């Protein structure tokens, strides 16, 4: 029973298209995140939601729009995809009042824009 699940695992699409990545966690955590991992493996936080409320919104093009319908789900929609959006996107979850728990990550979505 996967704790944090992302779909799809691979996504290949053409420039200019719009795509979505979905994330679900069954850990009962109240906070979820999107991270972008570039080709050098550097992890950059993009967004964070706590109980459906946006709490972290890093400098990310507004073509990226997160949506959290409930605290167990966090989706990422990307409009007008560009070559530079190619990366691995990770969803993660944590419990806001328990820094000692750390984060639990999904297996990632490898996005390739051609």
Binding site for another protein (CB under 8 A): 29, 31, 41-43, 48, 50, 55-56, 90, 92, 94-108, 110
List the 19-25 sheet strands across, edge first. Answer: 4-7, 19-25, 73-78, 64-70
User: β-strand 10-13 against 109-113: which pairing, if any?
Assistant: parallel
Residues 6+ apart with CB under 8 A from 63: 78, 79, 80, 81, 82
CB of 34 to another protein, least distance (A): 13
CB of 51 to another protein, least distance (A): 12
| Nearer CB in complex with another protein: 15/101 | 101
CB of 32 to another protein, least distance (A): 10
| Nearer CB in complex with another protein: 63/98 | 98
């Amino acid at each position: 029973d996967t704790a944090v699940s992302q779909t799809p695992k691979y996504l290949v699409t053409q420039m200019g298209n719009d795509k979505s990545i979905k994330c679900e966690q069954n850990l009962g955590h109240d906070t979820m995140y999107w991270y972008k991992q570039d080709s050098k493996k550097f992890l950059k936080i993009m967004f964070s939601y706590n109980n459906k409320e946006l709490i972290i919104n890093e400098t990310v093009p507004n073509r990226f729009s997160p949506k959290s319908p409930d605290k167990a789900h966090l989706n990422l929609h990307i409009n007008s995809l560009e070559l530079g959006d190619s990366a691995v996107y990770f969803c993660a979850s944590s419990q806001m009042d328990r820094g000692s728990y750390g984060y639990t990550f999904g297996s990632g979505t490898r996005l390739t824009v051609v």
